[in-house]
Amino acid sequence: MDGERRAKPVAIVGAGPIGLATALDLARFGVPCVLLEEDLQVSEGSRAIVLTRRSLEILQQLGVEKPLIEKGLPWSQGRSFYKGQEIYKMLMPYDSDDRYLPGLNIQQQYIEEYLLGYCERHPLIDIRWGQRVVAIAQGDAAVTLGIDTPDGEYELTAEWVVAADGGRSTVRKLMQLRMEGRSYPGRFVIADIKAKIDLPTERLCFFDPAWNPGNNVLVHRQPDDLWRIDFRLPDGETEEQALEPALLKRRINAVLSMIKQEVEWQLDWATVYSANTLTLGKFVHGRVLLTGDAAHLLPIFGVRGINTGLQDSNNLAWKLAFVINGWAEPPLLDSYSQERVQAAREICEEGGKSTRFMTPPSPGTRLLRDAVLSWSLSEDFLKDLMHWRTSRPHDYRDSSLNAFAEADREFHDGVACGQPLRNIKLAANDHLFDAIGSKAGFHLLLFVGEEGLTRDLREILAATENLAYPIHRLIVTPATPLDDPQADPIVGDAQGRTYSKYDASPGTVYLVRPDLHVCARWRRANPLQVVQALRQATGFAEGCCLS
């Protein structure tokens, strides 16, 4: 409004969890941004309540995980019941090498509040509240946003715009982008109640309870003695009817009676929602990049919304930072779209199955679902059909950024090209991901033997010394830490856990992208191969990143 016309490098529309995380991720690479938020505060009401382990690992990379861990409630199992009998127990994958349990229950407003605290303290992040984006115009070199504020309108020009403005994205509508996929007719009430209930932190699911025949109920514990009760409405019931206080109270009492906790409670929040499996077919449109709910709308079964968005922003931020810093060309951004659209489509497929099980959209699917439920009372083989397919880290195995596929195939196990790194417990409270920390850039894992660095590995260290962009070299050694000034951190792994989990032997090299997905690995590598793989991963190799 003061008439400054200089283009900002990045404007992020929307300071929800994904806009905030993108801002912090860009800042790690030294990229400043303006964060535009139409509201005057973080979100209110009950929305996402579960962070997955992968999300916590991403948040650890941003250096913001501590308050979340302190506040949240970790959990690792869920149980499903039918006609009062437990028919399925899901133990979510957990390994003694993991730092975090598979799930952490924490309300979205805390996630946003904590992220916001870090953003507000960061000199590269300019947060502007009460600024509603109402217009967008793209030129060859910049995008101009029209912004409505309580003090009037102004225009802001940015080289790149990240649209993180949520499920009702204004940017998506202004650009007339249409989503593919489907919406489901079943509607659910979310009611958060405050109550002292003495049950462990786990996810409970009840099919066909006597008080809500044919439908299902989910119960989840949250911090602050809050409990999320989530149930499907009987067909034909309207949102107003479902939220009518006397009816809602009767139903909540019925749930409490079902879990044998007839305690005093107060309603904290209630709303009605429905499930969608919708995604854009492209997340990159010129200089406008869509992310989070602005790019896809996913069912909440399997905690997909916020956790998918965090994987989007972690994938997008490094690529955008590389382009802005002149370390890569804009076509690198096409790989963001390729990788994350594929992830969104996989989630729509998986989430669609969960949704059809929760809210059968036709008499046929209902018949099948009910058959599975009733047989599960006596037959074990059907239980896997009740797996609710929780949000998972995505595997970019087909990414154009991966290199040396043949060398990848020489491994029998370990972390394949496209997969995210696996954490390793090295000592009591010391993990591989702590050594990586929040360092921004590529990572090279070099495995050595008792004799220390070989000539090949020394040459690789020398060849990656003075690159334009940051690359962190991490030496894994079975001995007490080597005294080698060439490496960044040196990981002493006397028990060999890293070697076995990574199917590594002395001489093995892993090249890892800034979002911690492996993009090349070799049993034995030479410096030329590593440099070639880095060219591929930054979009410079021929044939790479062409959409």
- List residues binding ligand FAD (CB under 6 A): 13-19, 36-39, 43, 47-50, 108, 132-133, 164-167, 170, 190, 271, 273, 292-294, 300, 303-307, 309
- Provide the minimum distance between the beta carbon of 297 and ligand FAD in the complex, in angstroms, as a whole number: 8
Q: Judge whether 49 and 226 are in contact, CB under 8 Å.
A: no
Residues facing 147 on adjacent strands: 133, 154
Measured from the CB atom, is 165 or 395 closer to ligand FAD? 165
Q: Which is nearer to ligand FAD, 182 or 409 (CB)?
A: 182
- Cβ atoms < 10 Å from Cβ of 95: 12
Nearest to 8 by CA among 34, 37, 26: 34
Nearest CB to ligand FAD, comparing residues 108 and 399: 108
Q: Considering the complex, what minimum distance in angstroms separates the CB of residue 295 from ligand FAD?
A: 8
CB of 132 to ligand FAD, least distance (A): 4
Residues 6+ apart with CB under 8 A from 251: 189, 211, 212, 231
Q: Which of 451, 452, 455, 460 is nearest to 510 (CA)?
A: 460
Judged by beta carbon, residue 148 or residue 434, the one nearer ligand FAD is 148
Where do runs of H (alpha helix) occur along 393-510?
405-409, 432-436, 455-463, 497-501
Radius of gyration of the chain (CA): 25
The smaller minimum CB distance to ligand FAD, of residues 18 and 445, is found at 18
Least distance to ligand FAD, CB of residue 204, Å: 14
Q: Which amino acid is at 131?
A: Q
Residue 190 or 444: the one with the smaller Cβ distance to ligand FAD is 190
Nearer to ligand FAD among residue 132 and residue 425 (C-beta)? 132
CA–CA separation, 407 vs 399, rounded Å?
16
Structure-derived torsion over alpha carbons of residues 338, 344, 347, 349, reported in degrees to the nearest 10: -80
In the complex, the smallest distance separating the C-beta of residue 305 from ligand FAD, rounded to whole angstroms, is 2
* C-beta of 103 vs 441, nearer to ligand FAD: 103
Ordered DSSP codes for 481-522 = ----TTSSSEEE-TT-HHHHHTT--TT-EEEE-TTSBEEEEE
Q: How far is the CB of 15 from ligand FAD (least distance, A)?
A: 5
Residue of minimal Cβ distance to ligand FAD = 16
3-state secondary structure of 371: helix
Residue 416 parent element (H or E): none
Strand order in 296-297's β-sheet?
85-91, 77-82, 203-207, 216-222, 226-232, 180-194, 266-279, 296-297
Which C-beta is closer to ligand FAD: that of 306 or that of 426?
Answer: 306
- Please check whether residue 444 is in contact with residue 511, taking contact to mean a CB–CB distance below 8 angstroms: yes
CB of 39 to ligand FAD, least distance (A): 4
Q: How far is the CB of 495 from ligand FAD (least distance, A)?
A: 36
| CA–CA separation, 95 and 108 (whole Å) | 26
Distance in Å, CB of 160 to ligand FAD, minimum? 16
